[in-house]
Amino acid sequence: MIRKDYLERLIEQFAAAFAALLKKRREQGPEAAQQLLRDTALDLLGMEYSALTLADAASTAKLLGHPRRVICLARLVAEEGEGFQEQGDGTRAALRWGLALELFLEARELGGQLEGEDAQVFKALKARIEPSLLSERYQQALARAQDDIPADS
């Protein structure tokens, strides 16, 4: 029961923080949103954003330990990629989108379900990232993911 309450609170807090992040990026630009992104990671995941994005996706997922936490980070990383794209830095955007896709795949490997907005972001990332750029491990995970993401998500 405590774990379920924790997860429900995490989801609610993330939804509110993500809405604020999108609003800040829209109103004040990607640079302003960057600090809020770091604050959100620290508040919700308990670690510095830069530390979470420094390691590979598998190590980070193990560190976070729960698929919902990994999905939260994946969404933050994907959003950072959007900010880089808005700034005209397509290379950094693509790197972030690749990491976000790998994090989503790691969350699925931990038993996480991608539904709603999470599934939509995952599908958008799949469309942006050429699978051959991923390691064989992630290419296989991506192939497995094709079959069980709801089509209407």
Domain boundaries, the chain: 2-145
Provide the residue type at 66 as one letter. H
Give residue-wise pLDDT tens across range 75-112: 999 999 998 998 899 999 999 999 999 999 999 999 99
Give the separation between CA 40 and CA 44, rounded to whole angstroms: 6
Provide the residue type at 85 as one letter. Q
Model pTM score: 0.84
Picking from 66, 62, 70, 69, the residue whose alpha carbon sits closest to that of residue 99 is 70
Of the pLDDT bands very low, low, confident and very high (cuts 50, 70, 90), residue 44 is confident
Integer CA distances (angstroms), 102 to 1, 53, 61, in order: 30, 11, 10
